[in-house]
A = this chain, B = another copy of it.
Amino acid sequence: MAPTSLGQLKPRKQPVQDRSHATVDAIFEATVQVLLRDGARKLTTRRIAERAGVSIGTLYQYFPGKEALLYALVSRQLDLAASAVEEACRENHGRPINQCSDTFVNAYIDAKASNPESSRALYQATAGLDMKELIDTAIMRLHRAAYSLLASSSDDLVDDLDNVVFSLIAVVTGGTRQIFEGDDTATRLPTFREQLARMCRAYLNESKVSKRV
């Protein structure tokens, strides 16, 4: 969990009054909006503060810098998505392989689709910054959750399950990203979800012990 210098990246002040919570939320929300409207290149602390309706000084009372703000935003979102997937996987242990597959695919897409704007913004925010540790941590959580789910399945899977899960996650997260970064997300997401579910089921069924000589 500990990045290089976590002390520099944590919030400067912890809120004790209600209004400061509201301020922090407004800053996060403004960051997402600026990211969506102006893009990562024009994402400045001034613009964020302006859209949030607070002064630039206020922003710097809660975050030691711009990087820390983005770091906190991304961290929050990734944790939310990972937790949702973990819970869904936990609740579906021991089911047939097809159901396990659908569980993972749908849980991940649901998590992203629950706030499409934030998801879009997130992809922009991670660019150009060193969010690798954060992303790696989230992916590891997905990996553990999916591995555990599939290993618990009532169907037997191949022994190189690690590679299967690794590829599955790359495809699900990467494919979903393409949809969210492309046009007509709302229109195309249902179709993609269905096709991705079919694809993952077919792949995992192909990976059963019984299918491999």
Binding site for B on A (CB under 8 A): 39-43, 124, 127-130, 132, 136, 139, 163-164, 166-167, 169-171, 173-179, 182-183, 188, 191-192, 195-196, 198-203, 205-207
Main secondary structure of the interface of A (DSSP, over half): helix
Q: Establish whether residues A175 and B179, one from each chain, have CB atoms under 8 Å apart when the complex forms.
A: no
> With contacts A167-B175, A167-B195, A176-B174 known, is A183 near B136, CB below 8 A?
yes
Contact of A124 among B127, B132, B196, B206 (CB under 8 A): B127
A82 to chain B, nearest CB (A): 16
Nearest B residue to A167, CB-CB: B195
Which of A163, A199, A201 has the largest number of chain B CB atoms within 10 A?
A199
Nearest B residue to A164, CB-CB: B195
A200 to B195, CA, bound (A): 11
